[in-house]
Structure 1
Amino acid sequence: MRASDEDRERVIATLQRHTEAGRLTLDEFADRVGTVYAAKTIDDLRVATVDLPVLAPVAAPSGTATSNERQLLLTFLLAVVAVALIGTAYALFH
């Protein structure tokens, strides 16, 4: 079955929780998010979380992100930008 944007967002939220719990480094998180965005099917999405334990369901968000959530998001975005810049620089100079 084809993966939807909602399916991808759900998997990324799961990866964020595993990163917060210390099961994934920021580099691993960034790699897996890339896998999630490239996924075309539900089975492709499972690849990103197959080696991680199943988490208890989370209550629906209250509508406002906490400071920790904002900080994690900012850290993730900076990591993605850093990986993109390093990849670009590597491609240009090699």
Structure 2
Amino acid sequence: MTTQMRASDQDRERVVERLNEAVGRGLLTLPEAEERIAETYKARFLDDLTPLTADLPDPTPPKPERGRRRGPGFDPRVLPVLLVLAAVIVLTHGFAFPLIVVAFLAMKFGMWRHRHPARM
């Protein structure tokens, strides 16, 4: 009776992806990869899959994106445009409600946020 864990199709596919990535990075030749892929699909146990990628470096982690990424939502760069539109409405119609909305948005989304000096 064996104590080895059986390999699933998902385990085999992960190994095949790693082998294909290794070919793309120039770590394996195409004939080497084809041979290893054939062995991958023949593998019955997880221990049979380990040697197929043992000489390859760990998979590359995803690179963090540079710069600040904005999520969905309100873009504070539109506040000056809203302010101009609100001022036009107030001056032409005498209706001050748009200024209240713009002031609320400016406070909520940081038009007048305090900027703290960088900490060391």
Give yes or no for TM over 0.5.
yes
Query: TM-score, with normalisation over the residues of structure 2?
Result: 0.46
- Asked whether 1:7 is paired with 2:3, we answer no
- Asked whether 1:36 is paired with 2:40, we answer yes
Map Cα deviations across residues 39-58 of structure 1 (whole Å, 9 max, x no partner): 11111011110111111246
Which 4+ runs in 1 deviate beyond 6 A?
none
5 Å-filtered alignment, 1:1-94, equals 1-57=5-61
Aligned-pair identity in percent equals 47
> Structure 1 or 2: larger helix share?
1
Separation in 1, partners of 2:46, 2:8: 8
Unaligned runs of 5+ in 1: 59-94
Letter in 2 for 1:26: L
- Between Structure 1 and Structure 2, whose CA radius of gyration is higher? 2
Query: TM-score, with normalisation over the residues of structure 1?
Result: 0.59
Letter in 2 for 1:36: T
- Provide the aligned C-alpha RMSD in A: 1.6
How many residues align? The count is 59
Separation in 2, partners of 1:18, 1:34: 15
SS in 2 for 1:32: helix
Structure possessing the higher relative contact order (Cα contacts under 8 Å, 6 or more residues apart): 1
Separation in 2, partners of 1:9, 1:33: 9
